Structure 1
Amino acid sequence: MITTLAGTETCPKCGAATVSIREALPWCAGCEWNLDGYDRARQAPELGWSWIDRRTHRLAARLTRQQYAALVGRPLESAGWSLAGALTVGISVLLLAGVLALAVTGVWLLFAYPFPNFAVVLGLAFIGLALALRPRFGRVPPDVDVLTRAEAPELHALVEEVATRIGAPVPQVLGVDNDLNAYATAVGLRRRRLLCLGLPLWGALDGPARVALLGHELGHFVNGDVRRGPLTQPALTMLGSAADLFRPAPGTHDAGFIVLIGEWLGRMVSWALSRLLFVGHLALAATALRGSQRAEYLADEMAARAAGTAGATRLLDVLLSTESVALVVRQAARGGRGPAAWRAGTARSLAAAVDRLPLVRQLSVREEMSLFATHPPAGLRHRMLAARSWQDPAVVLTEARAERIDAELVRHYERAGRIAAWES
């Protein structure tokens, strides 16, 4: 419900009445005064101390606004390497070199001195640490149902058509799961491209939004997203893994005084080292994710190129309304109805919220602002697309073709519906 706080509070910059929805901190819808303000009651703590969270939110707001201003007036595909991306790659290379040095030193210590000796213990410790910190390349998640071309020829054909239109490579693995989400990534040493479509989301989207979703996710294969590069993943994961590794374990209670003193000193050293590594992890994540947010803007541009600006912005509005979409899917599934009912319910929900959506987009700018967010606020993403040249759809998904695709997925829809129906 929208509450316009006319007469209660006015904007100190332009004098207009402030607005609020969802009991959020009021802001000015016209000049956006106070939209970047920290709303402690509605925003989850990130570092645990409100005075630090307030400052990190302020820094995130400044960086996010600066990035938006730098990108809104230029071709996104020609932005090139960012400083954050280059720094992330450099740090990843150093971390990988450090892990390799640990492993080599460990092996050398095993054979450098006559056995037995303390160097063997130290060597094994180095090798174990190198194994614990090694980069992980991932695999196809067990909850993903891989769809072969024989099982889903229409869906494969649509994915290939969208990929061709936006100049992206075709995924080597196409799958579905039961989440209200979709993602593209690379898995394994061979870095196989994986596209996974969450069926509650896919089934709730109309034709243009489906094409936009494919354009956005396939765009991640060509937009330089730091989260998906084999040379950048170590910077985003290794220090966090090391911090977990050195986190102090629970101590004993029945040991003697000397043992307790030793344990206490060991825990202090482990805690300090773990916190230091964690701070480094946060600093790297905050730096690298600037590049990730830039990649999301480019993926949105790919979505608009495939589905047109209208389809891409509609997709963003659906993603802003995931709670409503989840409710629609759950209620329809409990009534034994499938994706056609999911789409109809989502369309009705968006139509009912048409007057509220501009404020929801604005509020997302505040509530999705974070140093550690992988995506820019949905409101800024919508604004970025609206500010750029209008694009007509390059791929049109007709109702008949969408029905054929849904028929290929009927068994998977039934399972996704059963899971959604049981969710509270």
Structure 2
Amino acid sequence: MTVSERYVAWCAACDWNVDPGAPDPAPGRIAAVQQRLCQAYGQQLAAEMENGGGESGSARRDVSSVLAFALALLVHAVTLALVVTGLLLVVLGWSTGVQPAVGAVLLLVAVVLRPRVGRLPKDAPVLHRADAPRLFGLIDEVAGVVGTAGVQAVVVAPAANAAVTTYGLRQRRVMYLGLGLWEILSPQERVALLGHELGHFAHGDVRRGFVTAGALRALDTWFHALAPVRPHRLLDRFVNATTFVPRWAVFGLLVLLDHLTLRESQRGEYLADVSAARAGSTGAAVGLMDRLLVSSSVGPELRRESVAAQMSGGRAGREARDRAEHGLWERLAAHMAAVPDHEYERLRRVAQRRGHSVDTTHPPTHLRRHCAATGGPHPAQVVYDEDLAAGVAAELAPARAALARRVIRDFAG
């Protein structure tokens, strides 16, 4: 056994003490269903990927996509019916005085349930092509490798994650780049990260579509709005009984829409991992999976930095915060780089035991890692050399400084 004060002592031969932590908390009803589906689909699709069937099954995907789109339209039709009914009650019901109030409530509900067009955040640094030509050039090069176009904006955030989506009526592409993840990756792992995220555009994901994503959000809102209340009074019991059938009807529709979309969404994750390997190399894609296992400790480490900097008051406190802001991301990278190999191995075994995934809609991380490791091997088609790394770092410097200040000043609260 390797014993360290900072990490769990465990036995690699017999797995003694490999997972001493508390079990994962029980997820909610919807999350539990998603988790079961993801575990089942993840194993099936991992086997297909190993047998070279990752791109097969287009007919099945087409049928599922069409059914999911039709079901999503049905959900939005209910929202549209609320709008029409609400307008009629407001316009034509003034003789009673009650109908306009009911109509206003229906219109308010429809506003809450409406599909939303994405917007760029106002509280985070947003980079456009003119702001960061080297970064966007890198993104364009990776996009060309994975078979898609680049993005129109990059949002820089402190979180340990990354994502792509669209914004505006014209559905422009945007990438969310979390420094908490970006800064702890090696250069080629950063290329793999970009390849994975852009792979979602290349391979498509019905759950990310405007219509389907809006329907999932609307059904989730309905389900929580119809949730039973604690029965303290007779009226509470009456309300729970009245909402019982609609609540379970909504739950059934949500499970059905999940069933129609989750399998192909997970296939998209596996294919995005292939894109990551093709862009950054197989080794970089595997390394990225390992970093995801330790990314949960990024938040606590940033919070520790923030709390430590705010322990002193007055002028000394201001100086301490200024010092903490300077080099924050470098200290985070050094802290995560110090994680030993035996801790990564322990976390990989824990992930396999618990079925760890990024969230309830992603395949298990250990299956993704296995597929990335056994596929290929792929050499790096995009090389993140020192000159490019220095250029990208210079373009990200203002955002890094602004987010370091936010983390140190506000993260502890």
Task: Provide the TM-score with structure 1 as the length reference.
Answer: 0.77
Aligned match for 1:46, one of 27, 31, 43: 27
For 1:94-173, what aligned pairs fall within 5 Å after superposition? 94-108=74-88, 115-116=95-96, 123-173=103-153
Moved more, 365-374 or 65-74: 365-374
For 1:53-72, what aligned pairs fall within 5 Å after superposition? 61-72=39-50
Distance 1:115 1:177, change over 3 A: same
- Paired with 2:384 and 2:255, the residues of 1 have a C-alpha distance of 42
Measure how far apart 1:62 and its partner are: 3.4
- Paired with 2:325 and 2:97, the residues of 1 have a C-alpha distance of 70
- Paired with 2:158 and 2:234, the residues of 1 have a C-alpha distance of 51
Aligned match for 2:18, one of 9, 21, 39: 21
What amino acid maps onto 1:45 in structure 2? A
Q: Which residue of 2 aligns with 1:348?
A: 338
Does residue 271 of structure 2 align to residue 298 of structure 1?
A: yes
Q: Which residue of 2 aligns with 1:73?
A: 51
For 1:231-242, what aligned pairs fall within 5 Å after superposition? 231-242=211-222
For 1:330-345, what aligned pairs fall within 5 Å after superposition? 334=324, 336-345=326-335
Measure how far apart 1:282 and its partner are: 4.7
The root-mean-square deviation of aligned C-alpha atoms, in Å, is: 3.6
- Paired with 2:179 and 2:391, the residues of 1 have a C-alpha distance of 15
- Paired with 2:34 and 2:162, the residues of 1 have a C-alpha distance of 29
For 1:13-412, what aligned pairs fall within 5 Å after superposition? 17=14, 20-23=17-20, 41-47=22-28, 61-74=39-52, 76-77=54-55, 79-80=57-58, 82=61, 84-108=64-88, 115-116=95-96, 123-247=103-227, 264-266=237-239, 268-270=241-243, 273-274=246-247, 276-278=249-251, 280-282=253-255, 284-285=257-258, 287-325=260-298, 334=324, 336-349=326-339, 352-353=340-341, 355-368=342-355, 373-412=360-399
Q: Which residue of 1 aligns with 2:317?
A: none
- Paired with 1:277 and 1:381, the residues of 2 have a C-alpha distance of 32
Measure how far apart 1:71 and its partner are: 2.9
**Percent identity among equivalent residues?**
32
- Paired with 2:261 and 2:356, the residues of 1 have a C-alpha distance of 15
Number of residue pairs aligned between Structure 1 and Structure 2: 385
Do the aligned residues in 2 keep the contact of 1:215 with 1:299 (CA within 8 Å)?
Answer: yes
**Which whole-Å deviations, capped at 9, do the CAs of 1:230-276 have from their partners, x for residues lacking one?**
1211331111112333456899x9xxxxxx75565235424664455
**Which whole-Å deviations, capped at 9, do the CAs of 1:47-66 have from their partners, x for residues lacking one?**
379xx96x986665434312
- Residue 21 of structure 1 aligns to a residue in which SS? coil
**Which whole-Å deviations, capped at 9, do the CAs of 1:286-338 have from their partners, x for residues lacking one?**
55333322211111111111111111111111111114555676669848325
- Paired with 2:242 and 2:234, the residues of 1 have a C-alpha distance of 12
Distance 1:5 1:170, change over 3 A: closer
- Paired with 2:139 and 2:228, the residues of 1 have a C-alpha distance of 48
Measure how far apart 1:20 and its partner are: 5.0
Distance 1:75 1:334, change over 3 A: farther
Do the aligned residues in 1 keep the contact of 2:45 with 2:54 (CA within 8 Å)?
Answer: no
Bigger fraction of residues in helix: 2
Task: Provide the TM-score with structure 2 as the length reference.
Answer: 0.79
Do the aligned residues in 2 keep the contact of 1:88 with 1:235 (CA within 8 Å)?
Answer: no
What amino acid maps onto 1:288 in structure 2? T
Higher relative contact order (CA 8 A, sep 6+): 2
- Residue 321 of structure 1 aligns to a residue in which SS? helix
Do the aligned residues in 2 keep the contact of 1:206 with 1:343 (CA within 8 Å)?
Answer: no
- Paired with 1:340 and 1:261, the residues of 2 have a C-alpha distance of 60
Question: Which consecutive unaligned segments of at least 5 residues does structure 1 have?
Answer: 7-16, 25-40, 254-259
Question: Which consecutive unaligned segments of at least 5 residues does structure 2 have?
Answer: 1-7, 307-322
Distance 1:111 1:241, change over 3 A: same
Measure how far apart 1:137 and its partner are: 2.3
